[in-house]
Copies of this chain bind each other. A is one copy, B any other.
Amino acid sequence: MSQAETVPDIATPHPFDQASPAELQAAVEIVKQRFDPELELFWYAGNVQEPPKKVMQAYLRAERAGKPVSPPPRRICILVGIVHTPRNFEVLVDLSEGAIVGFKELSRIYQPPLTMDEVDIARKVTLSSDLIKKEAERMGVPMELVFAEPWDYGRDSDEEYPRMSQIFMYMLNPETRDPESNPYSWPLDFMAVVDLEKREVVKVIHLNLGVDAVSREIQNGEYKSSKPAEPEYVHSLQSQKTRTTMKPLRVLQPEGPSFDVTGNLIEWEKWRFRVGFNWREGFVLYDATFDGREVLYRMALAEMFVPYGDPRSPLQRKSAFDFGNIGAGNAANNLGLGCDCLGVIKYLDGHLLGGDGKPKTIPNVVCIHEVDAGIQWKHTNTVTGKPVVVRRRQLQLQMIITVANYEYAFYYVFDQSGEIMFDTLATGILSTTPIDPANKDSCSYGTRVAPGVLAPYHQHIFSLRIDPCIDGDGNTVQVVDSVPMPLSKESNPYGVGYTTESYNVKESGTVNINVEKGRVFKIVNPNKINSTTLQPVGYKLVPVASQMLLSDPESWHGRRSNYCTAPIWVTKYKDDELYPAGKYTSQSIGDDGLRHYISRKDPVENDDVVVWHTFGLTHNPRPEDFPIMPAETTRVMLKPNGFFEFNPTLDVPESKQSFNQSVSYEDSKALSSKKSCCKI
């Protein structure tokens, strides 16, 4: 097969389009030529290298104005390693030139992500290891029941060490032996360490089954968990019957959706934006405008860190950067019609690079649909009695990822009012660890969620990267507090006056949330004055007020997740600065990321600013979170605040029965009790 045959033609993509399978394949073929064909290569990832913002802004503005545009060079970044060696490479391929334009061997302190294909390798290595077979035999667990869960290894020393994975061990339900049974109900009393370079188990560690941090020797086969009250989440395996009380609720859109999707371009109710996709961040929002006015250049969840609070060795390593280590795109679900959302749904596929260097496509990684979110506004004239109600229609983009035991759903939500919300939803299964079922001592860092099963306390700490473009270039972050006016015969004689105190963030740095002062974060464009308020146009960020990192700042959790110490970070835009915990988070030492970006002390007033919001959940598990967790949600909001001259939803039609066709309870009961179908 000649090279010409292996590289298919590539149609001209939009610069914010994800890398197509053909582009990934083309890039791989070009990279392969740089390596000795005898070498076995492992392909970690491939994604489009975004063009510089300056280039793209000119491009987007011309494009929106309907002017001719010439696409910037199309570049693909490939991460590849040589199997059985510690050597990994970051290669930049220019597809337009058909050439490598950047080639860098990674320092040994940087590791590419632990992709799904490598997780599979680690799992197979574990399950075929004699060390593991010996442990299973000790516990009397047949190997076909053993469930191995590879995690990123993390870091526990300053020294250089090989690429590794730590493997948490569980078993399938010993009664049903069903492959769909919930392994997290049956934690085993040991874990393993896999050397990913050697591709072998290099260590087995017996877990501490007590509640204190001092490890103790375990006896052979000593630990046996009892059967939990309800170990299973798969319905057919549960000991209880599935309820039949819930009647169907369907979303009907007889005239079709109100949105249009053309390639990566989505248009809905005065909003216009593009959606990209890459292995790391999953879906990314680009070039969002409302009624033709710029709001965001780019927004994406940039990282999440899940540090565990269990202090016992070896669990102090338990932590995950799910975006940097695994990749939200790599972990994205194929979303099913009628399962993950209701109504009329547009799906987008995601393209990834497999470990074997072949493109693979996950269908339906993003679903786009409308929701009715209640009431947008209402008023009843108190004199005439006339009510006017406008309902709140929103457009949701959803992506759901599975990272080992946990699931996260992420949402960009667009509102007719000019608001953009970013929602996170945490569900899935708690990562459990065994505890001696006979031990009834109070545990200070975890919750017993079943007999012999401990769910350690942990945090989920997200970083949302907001790259605004509020009504054009030159934005300023304003911190605004509401404070009582001082008592004064002149200005506040009755003591009821209150006012705002604000300052501009002048230099890259952090700002704290302040609930007591009702602190608000505005992103304004000082170059554009709102003719109604006589103040600069702006948006406000409504953050999630949440607890920051609980780990000691000098611990490895603390050193590696330097973005988790403050809720609001402001930096000056710089191409490629997308990663708050650094570009390479696997086994990272914490030498990259937000703390380092802000240390430049760049001027950020009336400039190209980026706002990063750190927020999260301190998750001290409940038994209600087991064997699967009811979703826990957070919402970050961007709200126009003096961006418009008046409410931009005034022209949304009144909510009417003729449009909505609701049904009264009494009519519905009468109707649904009729058993016979209508006759012709």
Contacts and interface: CB of A to CB of B under 8 A. Distances in A.
Contacts of A123: 383
Contact of A646 (B230, B258, B673): B230
A311 B493 CA distance: 7
Given A445-B499, A555-B496, A393 B516 contact: no
A658 to B, nearest CB: 7
Copies in the complex: 2
A179 interface: yes
A662 to B, nearest CB: 4
Contacts of A72: none
A518 B499 contact: no
B668 A495 contact: no
Contacts of A417: 624, 630
Contact of A370 (B240, B249, B261, B648): B249
A457 B498 contact: yes
Contacts of A644: 623-624
B243 A652 contact: yes
Contact of A550 (B238, B245, B482): B482
A650 B233 contact: yes
A657 B337 contact: yes
Contacts of A554: 495
Interface in A582-635: 618, 620, 622-631
Contacts of A206: none
A628 to B, nearest CB: 5
A407 interface: yes
Contact of A374 (B551, B631, B664): B631
A242 B653 contact: yes
Chain A interface, DSSP helix/strand/loop, else mixed: loop
A213 B491 contact: yes
Contact of A448 (B534, B650, B653): B534
A255 to B, nearest CB: 4
A52 interface: no
A662 B242 contact: no
A623 B651 contact: no
Interface stretch (A40-48, A159-167, A541-549, A570-578): A541-549
Contacts of A666: 346
Contact of A642 (B402, B404, B482, B622): B622
A218 B138 CA distance: 93
B484 A653 contact: no
A10 interface: no
A248 to B, nearest CB: 5
Contact of A378 (B400, B618, B641, B672): B400
A205 interface: no
Contact of A630 (B228, B498, B530, B647): B647
A399 to B, nearest CB: 12
Nearest to A649: B630
Given A552-B484, A652-B243, A668-B344, A378 B409 contact: yes
A131 interface: no
Interface in A242-259: 242-258
A227 to B, nearest CB: 12
A241 interface: yes
A620 to B, nearest CB: 6
Given A230-B650, A338-B659, A661-B338, A249 B494 contact: no
B493 A379 contact: no
Given A180-B386, A339-B656, 19 more contacts: A213-B492, A229-B646, A241-B651, A242-B652, A256-B669, A256-B673, A307-B496, A311-B494, A339-B660, A345-B663, A347-B665, A374-B631, A418-B624, A444-B485, A482-B620, A484-B551, A515-B546, A623-B642, A623-B644
13 contacts: A245-B258, A257-B665, A310-B496, A316-B497, A368-B665, A375-B400, A377-B428, A382-B404, A417-B624, A445-B498, A496-B557, A622-B641, A624-B644
